[in-house]
Structure 1
């Protein structure tokens, strides 16, 4: 839905966890439904398939299968800081082993068609940035054509600040493009990140969820156009659409929580989101939320039944 707002060049799926087997087609379609539609969002934005795991051969097999389903790019996640993921040797914990990073990327590169790029995302390390440059070299030498650097270690999690100066250090040691990521919440953050990191390109995560037009603002600034921030009146139809999708796809028990999650992020940028969150904070039924958002409950139930 956010890709409809504009300014986004490409997006990445939620990571698909690969452990010890070739995953079935329905598993890929569940986490990457865009594969059914030319690997593009409904707005037409290209989508990359992201894999996470530690077994080179198994990742290679699943990457090849993803390509057969239509994945235009395979992205490898070496940045996830979640404890459960790291405990099962996935994500940022692998930054302790540059040799394994190289083996994974090289095997995936060997397994997928030559025309399919392989990209990677990393953090600065697990508990220190001592191996950051070695990890970046390993990824590039293995065949990664782009590297996204979340400028914090796993231990630092999402605590500010992001150390954008390390993005520049990584770019100095690899010949592939390096993208900056982390703590880019506003247009001013992007400008400072660009000055400090020297990165031409960035990846947005939480910043785009909390400010849906951030990519559009950045694209306008890059092109030398006037930057007009999205107002609440432009955002509200997206919020209604999000709620309607949650109502159709989730049980009534879980849909309100999903809306509250997004509103909690939007509160960072919109005072109106603070008021709306306060109004629905204690609501667990969908109908009062329908009324607050001006959504037709009966039509939603009808579509859900159909």
Structure 2
């Protein structure tokens, strides 16, 4: 001890200083948590890469080629398939206008009907549980089964259910599915019938989330039923309405099964939709390149339509 004091001039030795450790982003609790999160996501990302993103990129590659199903010669054509579909294919143009008409006709009606049914179901009527289940049954029923049922109901036979019903009002029998003037509208009615129950349930969930205090305060201020609906219910349901309209738009542009089962795009292309046109190109004309290009054009159409809807409704509806 004396030797130490002599070397330090009688003063205690200075405390040892630690060298500051350089920050390492790959060490620490945060990095471990992020790493574990990605490890848990890895199986899902791998499945999506193989079964979702991979096929999408491959389909885009196919759309840039003249790609017959049977044939080894598949030359690269660039955007010629897209240019041909948009500029020269009259059948695709007919399918586009049919799909647009279908969407504009179905989406507003099914949205309004679903909202009306939800309001009635939420009002406390008797047997409302039974009616909820009854309206929801078509949603969980196979679309193929519904198509067969509607084929029988709207048969051209004068004794069919639909023709007998309109006969009560003095109208003659109609060729529901075999006439170009009524075929698409009949399928539109079927789609509304099949989907309105699903959207009614979504609206019901939204209605049950509206605070009752708002209605009570409005009633105290003298607001009637219509004013409460217009100034409270509808504004509070804007996010739900945005969801329902978006799902309706996507579903209408992608309609296929009813067309394939009932009319196959006829008569005279009056029920031909974009998705059924893609099917015809791929599996009947066996032109995979053109069909793939049509699929990407359909994606752009749906994407732009939803963007326009978001712009019209406003950002607040998506919050």
- Who wins on radius of gyration, i.e. which is larger? 2
Give the structure with the larger strand fraction.
1
| TM-score in same-fold range (> 0.5) | no
Q: TM (normalized to structure 2)?
A: 0.23
- Going by fraction, where is helix more abundant, 1 or 2? 2
